[in-house]
Amino acid sequence: MAPMTRSRADHNGNVNDLTVTYYTQRASAGLIISEAINISEQALGSPFTPGIYTAEQIDAWKKVTKAVHETGGLIYAQLWHTGRVGHSIDKNGVLPVAPSAIAIQGQQHFTSQGPKQYETPRALETAEIKQIVQDYKQAAANAIEAGFDGVELHAAFGYLPNQFLVESANHRSDEYGGSIENRCRFVSEIMQEMVDAIGENKVAIKLSPSIPFNAIIDSNPTALYTHLIAQLDKMPLAYIHLMNPMFPIDNLPQYPKDVIGTFGTLTRHLVMANGGYSKNTGEQELEKGIAKMISFGALFLANPDLPKRFELNSALNHPDRATMYGGGEKGYTDYPFLGE
C-alpha cells in the first residue's frame, strides 16, 4: 500500500482512532507505507498532517502499529519534510525553508485558509541543513519506538530532499549545491544517518525522477539519479520506491518515460514500482523482472481488501476524490469490504 498524504491529524499532529481503524482495515497489504509524517515542526507544510517528533505523537502512532501487527500486517513510516511546499499561514507565521530562496511558480498551496500563492522560502544555512539531517535520524529512531517496521524517506514529488536534488530549486554554492555529487549529498547523508540509527534493511527511499510537479526541473535527471542510486547502493537498504511519470512530460524530452526500465536496472536493491497501476498493469510490470513489488494508492484507499479483490477478480470500489485528503470517516474508513 503506497504512502498517501493525509490531513486527518489534530492541531498537534496526533493521529486518532479513525487512523487506527483505517490502517487496520488494510493490514492485508504485503506492506503498508504510512501517510507522510512530519519529522519536525519546521517540516510541516499542510495543516492537520501528522508528526513523529513529540512523545504524544509517538504514542498515538503506537496504537496504529500495534493494531496493524495484531492483524498480521507490516508498516513502514514515510518520513517527510516539505521544505518550500508550505505556507506561513499554517507555520505560525514562519516562512517555509528550502535549499534556495526560490518560490514555486504556477501552482497554489492548500492552506487552512484556502488555496494561496506560494511564498518565497528562506534559504537554509549550512549548519541548519546538518540539523535537518539529524532531525531525520531522530525521526527514524522515533518511528521504531512507535512500533514501525522501518522507514521510507520521502525524496519524491518536490519535497525538501527532492528540492536539494534538482537545479530548478537548488542554486547553492556550498557543499550541498552545484555539482550532481553536491546536490545528492543531503539525501545520501540522511539515508546513511537513518541506517546508522535503526539498522540494516529497515530504511527505504521514494524517488520520482520524471515528475516536474512543484516546479522540480533538472536538465539531466538521468545523470542525477544514476549518481544518486550508485550512492544508495553502498548502503544496506530495504528497497527503492520509484514513481512513474504522473504528469505530461512531452515538453521535457530529457525526462525518461520508462522510469522503472531506466533506473530500476541500476540498483542491487529490491525495486518497488508506483504510479497508476491496475491489477493487470501491475502484473505486467512484475513480469518484466525489474520491479519485485507494486504499490497501490487510491485503489487501496477505496478497497481495504484489495489483495482479496485482486485474487477473486472482483469489482473495485471507486475512490471519492473529494474526501481523499481530509475529513472524518466518510471516504476514509467507510469503504465497503467484499460482501458488505
pLDDT digits (tens, 9 = 90+) for 220-260: 999 999 999 999 999 999 999 999 999 989 999 999 999 99
Domains delineated in the chain: 34-294 (3.20.20.70)
CA 260 to chain centre: 17
pTM of the model: 0.98
Express each pLDDT in 43-99 by its tens digit.
Answer: 999 999 999 999 999 999 999 999 999 999 999 999 999 999 999 999 999 999 999
At residue 141's C-alpha, the angle toward residues 76 and 332, to 5°, is: 35
Residue 176: closest CA among 168, 167, 185: 185
Q: Has residue 289 got a pLDDT over 90?
A: yes
Give the separation between CA 314 and CA 189, rounded to whole angstroms: 45
What pLDDT was estimated at residue 340? 82
Q: Which amino acid is at 63?
A: K
Mark whether 159 is an active-site residue: yes
DSSP element (H, E) containing 101:
none
Residue 35: closest CA among 75, 92, 77, 67: 77
Cα dihedral 104, 133, 325, 339 sign? positive
What pLDDT was estimated at residue 330? 95
Summarize the confidence of residues 320-333 as an average pLDDT: 92
Q: Residue 2: which residues within 8 A CB-CB, separation 6 or more?
A: 33, 274, 295, 296, 297, 300
Summarize the confidence of residues 166-171 as an average pLDDT: 98
Give the separation between CA 271 and CA 87, rounded to whole angstroms: 34
Q: How far is CA 242 from CA 39, 204, 288, in A?
A: 22, 11, 15
CA 236 to chain centre: 20
Give the separation between CA 245 and CA 249, rounded to whole angstroms: 8
Summarize the confidence of residues 294-313 as an average pLDDT: 98
Question: For the chain, what is the mean pLDDT?
Answer: 97
Give the separation between CA 1 and CA 37, rounded to whole angstroms: 16
Residue 71 C-alpha cell reads as 492483524
Number of helices followed by number of strands (H, E) in the chain: 10, 11
| Among 22, 159, 225, 277, the one annotated catalytic | 159
Q: For the residues of 220-281, what is the DSSP string, one character each?
A: -HHHHHHHHHHHHTTS--S-EEEEPP-S--TT-TTS-S-HHHHHGGG-SS-EEEESS--HHH
Express each pLDDT in 106-165 by its tens digit.
Answer: 999 999 999 999 999 999 999 999 999 999 999 999 999 999 999 999 999 999 999 999
